[in-house]
Structure 1
Amino acid sequence: MSQQLDKTKPTFNWVTFLRYVLLILSLALVLMPVYVLFVTSFKGSADADPSRTWMLPQVWETKNWSKAWTTLSPAILNSLMLVIPSSIISAMLGSMNGFVLSKWRFPGANVVFTLILFGMFLPYQAVMIPLMRIVINADIGFGIHTLILMHVVYGIPITTLIFRNYYETIPEELIEAARVDGAGMIRTYASVVLPISIPSFVVVLIWQFTSAWNDFLFALFFGGNKSPVVTVALNNLAHGSIMADYGASMSGALLASIPTLLVYVLLGKYFVGGLMSGSVKG
């Protein structure tokens, strides 16, 4: 009887224990900057000192949040005016490109696709001077409309890649059935392919939203001074005075991160599902 009890007694699993320890340490490492941002955002100017970085505020104040919101609220609106149209337009263009390159092939389609992908490997810094000359010579001007154009053009390679991989998983029989029924390329795309493209659209919209929202270099060069986006306004808030205002800067950083955080919280599960749906050809 005692031998049977010994067999059913749970044993300590060192592998599971170490796994949880590593997960907890990783979580703590990730949350440390968030903790510093949060506690510093409630500190006064005298309390927000590097020597008291890890300490809680002596007096919890909300004036930093009020200052950050007053400074950043117009810039947040400008960023929304930038990221929403640029994400939607680049997603639609990438979807159409991906459909044509995967299901409606033409001579040289693979070459065209390869050339489009080259755009993914061009760093912003390498194209900044040529883009500046193009904008000046074309007299496009600087502002939100120019930033929308930049992010749409720069987003086409990655959106095309994601949609092409996803459309490769669509059975050819579905496209052939539409052709037999007399549907052309545009009708097949609009009536057959587009309605089943929601997973990839979620992936692309999250990707483009995050990229455009967090962009600083394009915004600094092409955004203009009249309508700065949130990254430029946050930089001005952090470096706009002789003495650094750590509390307001931390509050502004948290405010600026809320939209992308909400996007990932609300659509994160669809993001992973959309990536996986185009990872294996069915």
Structure 2
Amino acid sequence: MTTATTEPAAGAPTGTSGRPVELRPDGGKERFGVARSVRYLGLLLFVVIVMIPVYVLFVTSFKGAGDAAPSRAWSLPQTWTLDNWQTAWTSLSPAILRSLQMVIPAAAISAMLGSLNGFVLARWTFKGANLVFTLILFGMFIPYQAVMIPLTQLVLDLGVPSGIPTLILLHVVYGIPITTLIFRNYYLTLPHELIEAARVDGAGMLRTYWSVVLPISIPSFVVVLIWQFTNAWNDFLFAVFFSSSGNGPVTVALNNLANGALLQNYGVSMAGALFASLPTLVVYIILGKYFVGGLMSGSVKG
């Protein structure tokens, strides 16, 4: 008994098996195009909503004192002027320099300590390591307001100078939980054979970390440095408690700029806000893609 086989019609497209391939009707392309258009319109609407405050900040920063009024917040300046930017820069430039002196060492030190903690807790474990890791993470959930009074007394007892030195210490200490978590999750994704090979070669814990682990930790360092830089730069609570207008960061100076005059100058305040946000914006523009890549590299295990 023979089985009849059907041959594909002449000119019909076939796949690798020789069987005819069913073509998608034009309606599928149309539906795909409509869905993509709706998605892009939704993203465009989201961008417009997010950029509305930026537009108000930008146009108001170029308005004169009489033109920068709430009733004209959406209007373009009647006369464009750079006086607001000059005034804001004169008032904020010393504080911006102090903020840089604070956030750079604070981010670097907390990143290094978090890397060491994460390596030990992930790859050089000891008895009770999980308990220690849990206790470290508790620091992420303690509200700053709840410990502000005892923290102030502790800083006074330690004799740390007020202003930038105190803020560096506080941001390093309070940055350890999140940096430890990020680095631990990243180091858990490293091949176990890599650490074992270093041990077989006679490398101890510090040598393994310095020669093997640290060179491949760049993605996590980028994530942690951006995170800590942003948190320390935007901090206002610690800055108000432990510094003054003469030795504090840019957030304190910006608050004094906005509230220091009897007649509110919205143009100067908006220009100052743009100046204060510019460093973090530059950091995200330059390192944004590395930030996302670093987060993904440590998201497999945890």
Please indicate the TM-score interval, normalised by the length of the shorter structure: over 0.9
| Equivalent in 127, 142, 148 of residue 168 of structure 2 | 148
Overall identity of the aligned pairs, in %? 70
Equivalent of residue 254 in structure 1, options 245, 249, 274:
274
Q: Residue 83 of structure 2 corresponds to which residue in structure 1?
A: 63
TM-score (norm 1): 0.95
Opposite residue 273 of structure 2, the aligned amino acid is: A
**Structure of larger gyration radius:** 2
Partner of 1:202: 222
Cα deviation, 1:100-123, whole Å, max 9, x if unaligned, reads: 000001110000000000001112
Between Structure 1 and Structure 2, which shows a larger proportion of helix residues? 1
Residue 16 (structure 1) aligned to one of 36, 44, 55: 36
Query: 2:118 touches 2:184 (CA, 8 Å); kept in 1?
Result: yes
| Residue of 274, 280, 283 corresponding to 1:263 | 283
Match of 1:120, SS state, is: coil
Task: Specify whether residues 174 and 250 from structure 1 end up closer, same or farther in structure 2 by C-alpha distance, changes over 3 A only.
Answer: same
Give the distance between the partners of 2:140 and 2:53, measured in 1 at CA: 30
In 2: Cα distance, 1:103 partner to 1:21 partner: 47
- Please give the residue correspondences for 1:96-175 in structure 2 after superposition, counting only pairs within 5 Å: 96-175=116-195
1:190-213 per-position Cα deviation (integer Å, ceiling 9, x unaligned): 000000000000000000000000
Query: What residue identity is the alignment partner of 2:283?
Result: V
TM-score, normalised to structure 2, is: 0.89
**Contact 2:245 / 2:252 at 8 angstroms: preserved in 1?**
no
In the other structure, the counterpart of 1:215 is 235
Match of 2:6 in 1: none
- Secondary structure of the residue aligned to 2:106 is helix
Q: CA deviation at 1:6?
A: 7.0
Q: Distance in 1 between matches of 2:169 and 2:148?
A: 14
The one-letter amino acid of 1:34's match is V
Match for residue 16 of structure 2?
A: none
Count of residue pairs the alignment pairs up: 279
- Once the two structures are superposed, residues 16-42 of structure 1 have per-residue CA deviations (whole angstroms, 9 ceiling, x without a partner) of 232122111111100000000000000
Residue matched to 1:83 = 103
The one-letter code of the counterpart of 1:233 is A
Amino acid at match of 2:220: S
RMSD: 1.8
- 1:211–1:12 CA distance, 2 compared to 1 (3 A): closer
Q: CA deviation at 1:146?
A: 0.4
CA distance in 2, matches of 1:83, 1:170: 29
